[in-house]
Amino acid sequence: DQQVKQNSPSLSVQEGRISILNCDYTNSMFDYFLWYKKYPAEGPTFLISISSIKDKNEDGRFTVFLNKSAKHLSLHIVPSQPGDSAVYFCAASALVGGNKLVFGAGTILRVKS
């Protein structure tokens, strides 16, 4: 039973355009959502997060949107750069239930120059 789903295994985008990565969740107790970026042979690194009391959080080229009624969040990268090519993981946690981080399967983003 996957509580966090990333239904697109891969995404290809032209440099300079917008990249939109999507994530759905099933557990309504999740109250904190995070995006991680992972390069090959490295550990995941934190990118951006959003609390359930917000619907948008922005950090430079990265914006995360949260739609609680749809149990959906998305990561927007504008403009996309070749260095953004990586695997992106969506994660969620619930304070109730041990605050464990639950991850999606990941989306491979390729930014073409």
Binding site for other proteins (CB under 8 A): 4, 6, 9, 32, 34, 36, 41-46, 49, 51, 89, 91, 95, 98-106
Residue nearer to other proteins on the CB measure, 78 or 95: 95
Least distance in Å: CB of 83 to other proteins?
19
Query: What's 43-64 look like in SS3?
Result: CCEEEEEEECCCCEEEECCEEE
Q: Is the dihedral of CA 51, 1, 22, 12 positive or negative?
A: positive
Least distance in Å: CB of 41 to other proteins?
8
Least distance in Å: CB of 51 to other proteins?
6
Residue nearer to other proteins on the CB measure, 80 or 107: 107
Q: Give the contacts of 69 (CB within 8 A, at least 6 positions apart).
A: none
